[in-house]
Copies of this chain bind each other. A is one copy, B any other.
């Protein structure tokens, strides 16, 4: 008798997405209540929204941009979060944290969530520029990762290739926004779908 494979949620997020950040604070606890694990994978909304879907960035979309900002601030008030970044600031370069994350995930599997949490906190709570390579390396090293080895992985292009493959894999599975959740191939988009995701886990789908 082999043990059944642990049930898993695949969680996709972009570091520059506030709603991805919000989801990152809740998804593991939600999953654990139903005996699920969570696999985290950063993606790039700049690729899915701009290149694949042919849309424009949400903050620059009339009406929706204002709504998204208001929705995010309402969420923060509800959940007792105080952001360290103002909306409307230009976003950080998301490639840098994405590359650090996927390099860690490949070389130190199991450490990537703490790295993501640290990068997310630096960006959204402390307002720091995680698109700055030196800072991203420092934050990642602060989670017990060898800074020089990571720097080599970024410098050599290996980390970029890992991120590129992860983004392609996410698109192939239909992931187009942040946060996005897959339970098997069942998709849930947006932090406001986390209650439905929870129902899905509780009931085993329908």
Copies in the complex: 2
Q: Does A202 interact with chain B (Cβ within 8 Å)?
A: no
Find A64's partner among B61, B62, B176 (CB 8 Å cutoff).
Answer: B176
Instruction: Please classify how large the interface on chain A is, using the bins under 10, 10 to 19, 20 to 34, 35 or more.
Output: 20 to 34
Chain B, Cβ-Cβ closest to A171: B63
- CB of A110 within 8 Å of the partner chain: no
User: What residues on B are CB-neighbors of A25 within 8 Å?
Assistant: none
Q: Residues of B contacting A74 with CB < 8 Å? A: 186, 206
A residues 162-179 near B (Cβ < 8 Å) are 171, 174-176
A54 to B65, CA, bound (A): 12
In the complex, 9 of the A-B residue pairs with CB atoms within 8 angstroms, ordered by the A residue number, are: A53-B64, A54-B56, A63-B175, A63-B176, A67-B174, A67-B176, A67-B189, A78-B206, A192-B193
Residues of chain A whose beta carbon lies under 8 Å from any beta carbon of chain B = 48, 52-56, 61-64, 66-67, 70-71, 74, 77-78, 171, 174-176, 186-187, 189-190, 192-193, 195-196, 206
